[in-house]
């Protein structure tokens, strides 16, 4: 069986999503039976994909800057800075991807809006 770098696959999937290549991302990286845990959409693959397509129409110039990537067996965690426009302060986001046979079968996404005035001197990254 071919070995895959699951950390790289998670980054590539999220990068394609950010670049508006959502159909390609799903074709190459998402299992047909993928589920997700985003509270704003039904839990199936197509509902999340359609939400991502709609989001790309609203924010076609997103910037996704990976800060950390961790792997525990078949699960990859990606911590990143997501901005919707070049001058946007953005969000602190975490995506958790569970893989089977090099495809994402389960996805979690967590986001924290970055305040313009931060009390924490350590920053969010």
Q: Domain of 29: which CATH number?
A: 3.10.450.50
Region 38-63: mean pLDDT is: 97
- According to DSSP, the residues that pair with 99 across neighbouring strands are 104
Report the alpha-carbon distance of residue 79 to residue 63 in Å, rounded. 13
Decide if 96 is inside a domain: yes
Give the pLDDT of residue 1: 42
Count of all residues that appear for the chain in the document: 125
Decide if 122 is inside a domain: no
Region 74-96: mean pLDDT is: 97
Decide if 40 is inside a domain: yes
Decide if 1 is inside a domain: no
Percent of the chain with pLDDT over 90: 92
Report the alpha-carbon distance of residue 5 to residue 83 in Å, rounded. 26
Decide if 52 is inside a domain: yes
User: Which residues have a Cβ under 8 Å from the Cβ of 48 and sit 6 or more positions away?
Assistant: 36, 38, 41, 107
Report the alpha-carbon distance of residue 27 to residue 62 in Å, rounded. 21
Tell me the average pLDDT of the chain.
96
- Which residue range is the domain that position 81 belongs to? 6-113
Give the pLDDT of residue 4: 80
Region 60-78: mean pLDDT is: 98
Decide if 18 is inside a domain: yes
Q: How many domains does the chain have?
A: 1
Decide if 125 is inside a domain: no
Q: Which of 65, 62, 55 is nearest to 86 (CA)?
A: 62
Decide if 64 is inside a domain: yes
């Amino acid at each position: 069986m071919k070995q895959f770098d699951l950390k790289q696959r998670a980054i590539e999937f999220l990068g394609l999503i950010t670049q508006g290549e959502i159909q390609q991302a799903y074709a190459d990286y998402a299992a047909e039976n993928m589920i997700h845990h985003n509270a704003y959409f039904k839990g199936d693959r197509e509902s999340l994909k359609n939400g991502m397509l709609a989001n790309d129409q609203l924010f076609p110039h997103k910037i996704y800057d990976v800060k950390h990537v961790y792997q525990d067996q078949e699960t990859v965690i990606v911590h990143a800075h997501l901005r919707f426009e070049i001058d946007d302060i953005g969000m602190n986001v975490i995506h958790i991807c569970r893989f089977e046979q090099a495809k994402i079968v389960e996805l979690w996404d967590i986001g924290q809006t970055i305040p313009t005035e931060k009390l924490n001197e350590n920053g969010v990254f």
